[in-house]
Structure 1
Amino acid sequence: MHNRRALLIDSALAIGLAVVSVSLFVLVDSGELAGSAAGDLLRPVREPDGGAAVLVGLACLPVAVRRRWPLAALCASLLPDVVLVITGYGFSSVAHLVLLYSVAAYRGLAVALGGLLVSLLAYALAVVSAEELPVTVAVHVLQVAILAGVWGMGRGLRLRRAYLEELKDRASRLERAREADARAAKAEERSRIARELHDVVAHHVSVMTVQAAAARRVLTEDPEQAREALSAIESTGRVAMREMRDLVGVLRSPAERGPQPGMESLPMLVEQMREAGLATDLVVEGEAAPLPAGVDLAAYRLIQEGLTNSLRHAGTAARAVVTVRHRPGELDVEVLDDGQGAATAGSPERGGPGDRSAGERGPGEAGRGERGRGHGLVGIRERVAIYGGILKVGPRPGGGFEIQARFPLS
């Protein structure tokens, strides 16, 4: 549609130039411009005739294709002009100026220079071949200056158009980059929220599930114990609701954000696991020092996930030990249980993504492989990797499961 419209406009321009050029040719012939500067410049040696008028019109017709084939159109327009000058008519249409401008405006520098060179050579050929024309040196200089000026205007328009296109392209690239950054930020935030939801929901729901199963088993034989289990379920549910409200508050507004759990909440977590039926011990070594908020939360979530896995998979007779070691420049955390499992130890990996978990054992390894496949351990790997830590996850030699992490504090 755009090309068709441009062709129609250029065709109308070609017809208009042809009409104007033929009219000027007739006026010069009739002497109506005699005595004027235009009449002196365009005055022919030979008397104009119909054939010369046709040549004037033909020189204007290539303007119709000036956008598609500008250099070819320029050459086609210069040919009748040169013939007019050589044969002594002395009249040259302005169509070749329009076409020279088009070559400079719509083609690259090499083609544009070629168009200027063709115009200058055609003019030089006409001057040399028609020495009897009454043209002074000043007219030659003026003609060359006109050609150079028209060419310069076309190049200026092309450079300005290229500059505007580059600005548009740069703005488009920046917009795409902003959209990509926004998508990445949203994906990262969704991943963080998913980790938090899993840590909060999975832990408490696992505890409530174990307590409910225990209450169901002893409901008829020991109502008092069943009542205690139901009370623990109620307490755990309240804690889960409170943490969920805190997490939703983070999503709603920063002003509603409550304190996140940290290492100071470990005794409460251990006690909660004991009430859920998992014998749990807490060992703290070294002098506790203030921890960065991110490391504090990551270490707590790691221990929470490890104890939740032990509660789910280690069995009712298992025992879990949580060890926290405060060392200069680093924090070590460890969650071990003695439940029945494979006897192949995991291997440590830097940053977490390549660690070997129970879910990645070979065909001959038995045990609780599902403990390495859940979203919780994936979240642990991501948390440890964020803070440049070392993570080791896998079955213990002789049975049981272990999760060990070392967080640098520098």
Structure 2
Amino acid sequence: MRPGPTTAQRRADVRLGLVLAAATAASTELARSFGYSLPQSPPALEQLAWALAISLPLCVRRRYPVAVLLVVSATFIALQARLVLEGTMTSICLFVALYTAGAWARDRRVATAARLVVVVAMFAWLVIGFSATPLSAMLPGTDSDQTGFLPPRAATVVYATALNVVYFAGAWMFGDAAWRDARSRAALAASNEQLRRSREENARRAVLDERVRIARELHDVVAHHVSTMGVQAGAARRVLDTSPDDARAAMAAVEASSRAAVEEMRRLLGVLRAGDAPHGPDALDGGPGPAPDLRCLPQLVAEPRGGLQVDHAEVGTPRPVPPSTSVSAYRVVQEALTNVVRHAGARRASVRLRWLSGAVEVEVVDDGRAAPSGGGGLGLVGMRERLALHGGLLDVGPRPDGGWRVRARFPLPEDA
């Protein structure tokens, strides 16, 4: 369905109606001046009134297209019956009304029915006129002798019929073509609007996804190193007076962890400041800079954690891993060890890297409390988001024999 007329189009209709009214009135008076009138023709004022009656309704032609068509058509037949012989401008008014009904009527069935009624009525009036009018009246100054292929009356009927067929068919087809064109433009505009909204929604989602990725990465970088620094600083404070050497070792661990945190923060900021920073699962995790991945697990395990002993083992034959998958697996292990230090109160933890058929699996288990305590759960949320991005599986929960387990399985591509 095409949209309704705009304010500008309605104003244009008013201007068109007034112009046609003036032109029809002038043409009617000129026809009288040319002598195109009969003794039975109405007075000049009545002819002027008929001229205004057939043209002024066109001021609202796009607002009420079917009603205007019916009014103009009835007026056209009436002024013909009243022998108002001006035919040029009145025919133009009828053409405009018929065209408008086809181009602007919102109910297509009503538009078709109204136009069909008008066309049938006009041809019926034409037939009545031919039947009731003598040849001398139709063709003044012409005798009844045949001078061409057809007799004069037959030629007149054929000519008038063909002219009216072209007239009404043209108005009908032009109106339908305008309707189809308007519908196509409206559909294109709606499609463009939907596309614009879709682009805005995609951009909004991209911004939200980027915020989530940044928050996840910041949590992984900050939480791990700050937790380690807190544990080591606490250990140094406790042994500062009794064992200065152990205190110095703990402070050295704090220094090393702070440097690592600063280095990772610089890498992260480098990704965020890059003009062509990637998006999607590889964003931040696989950006420029030495992002830690599965190859860095031995160094991660070897970091001091305030008395927590961590062992590391690798099972299976190593296979190539996409960079984003490798970084995400590393982050899962890093977050799991951070949670062990912060919440579990464990003395030992184990890190396992397993190479499976079509997947790589990392697992962190500890001998601490059976459930984590405190915290806002952002670390677990980040783990789940990473696994969801890669289509992996995350298993987090207590172990039957005590302690806590975090197991993450990342699928690998077939050619990996």
**TM-score over 0.5 for the alignment?**
yes
Q: Report the AA paired with residue 306 of structure 1.
A: A
SS of residue paired to 2:304: helix
TM-score normalized by structure 1?
0.82
Q: Does 1:134 align with 2:164?
A: no
Q: Deviations over 1:314-368 (max 9, x none)?
A: 22x6211112223343323221111133xxxxxxxxxxxxxxxx4xxxxxxxxx3
Of residues 175, 183, 204, the one that matches 2:204 is 183
Tell me the CA shift for residue 305 of structure 1: 1.1
Of residues 312, 316, 329 in structure 2, which corresponds to 1:286?
316
Sequence identity of aligned pairs in percent? 40
SS of match in other structure, 2:292: coil
Residue of structure 2 in register with 1:392 after alignment: 395
CA offset at residue 211 of structure 1?
Answer: 0.8
Give the conservation status (yes or no) of the 8 Å contact 1:206–1:312: yes
Which of 340, 343, 351 is residue 369 of structure 2 equivalent to? 340
Using the alignment, how far apart are the partners of 1:182 and 1:12 within structure 2?
46
> Out of 174, 180, 187, which is 1:159 matched to?
180
CA 273–223 in structure 1, closer or farther in 2 if over 3 Å, else same: closer
The alignment covers a number of residue pairs equal to 372
Choose the corresponding residue for 1:143, options 156, 164, 189. Answer: 164
Please name the residue that 1:171 is paired with: 192
| Among candidates 87, 94, 97, match of residue 95 of structure 2 | 97
Asked if 1 retains the 8 angstrom alpha-carbon contact of 2:69 and 2:97, the reply is yes
Spell out the pairing of 1:7-406 with structure 2 (5 A cutoff): 7-31=10-34, 44=38, 46-50=40-44, 51-92=46-87, 93-94=90-91, 95-108=93-106, 109-130=108-129, 131-132=132-133, 134=138, 136-137=156-157, 138-253=159-274, 257-274=288-305, 276-315=306-345, 318-341=347-370, 358=371, 368-370=372-374, 374-406=377-409
- Cα displacement (A) at 1:218: 1.9
Deviation at 1:45, TM superposition (A): 7.0
Q: State the partner residue of 1:353.
A: none
Q: Distance in 2 between matches of 1:69 and 1:264?
A: 76
Question: 2:77 corresponds to which letter in structure 1?
Answer: V
How far residue 165 of structure 1 moved from its aligned partner, in angstroms, is 1.9
Partner deviation per Cα, 1:119-151 (whole Å, 9 max, x = no partner): 323322432443225172213321331222123
Task: Kindly provide the amino acid, as one letter, of the partner of residue 64 in structure 2.
Answer: W
TM-score (norm 2): 0.81
Give the whole-Å Cα distance in 2 for the aligned partners of 1:124 and 1:326.
88
* Alpha-carbon spacing, 1:170–1:44, altered in 2? closer, same or farther (3 Å): farther
SS of equivalent residue, structure 1 residue 407:
strand
Q: RMSD of aligned C-alpha atoms?
A: 2.6
Structure 1: gaps spanning 5 or more residues: 33-38, 342-357, 359-367
Q: Deviations over 1:266-286 (max 9, x none)?
A: 121111135x32111112223
In structure 2, the residue matched to 1:351 is: none
Q: 1:12 to 1:306 in 2, by over 3 A?
A: closer
Q: Report the CA distance shift for 1:8/1:324 in structure 2 as closer, same or farther (over 3 A).
A: closer
- Quick one: which amino acid aligns to residue 43 of structure 2? D
Q: Select between 238-247 and 285-294 the one with higher mean Cα deviation.
A: 285-294
Aligned equivalents of 2:203, 2:19: Cα separation in 1: 54
CA distance in 1, matches of 2:254, 2:120: 99
For residue 221 of structure 1, give the secondary structure of its aligned residue in structure 2. Answer: coil
CA contact (8 A) 1:389 1:407 kept: yes
CA displacement 1:145-167 (0-9 Å, x = unmatched):
12221232232222222222222
The one-letter code sitting in structure 2 at the alignment partner of 1:82 is I
**Distance of aligned partners of 1:334 and 1:67 in 2 relative to their CA distance in 1, 3 Å threshold:** same
Query: CA shift at 1:44, angstroms?
Result: 4.9
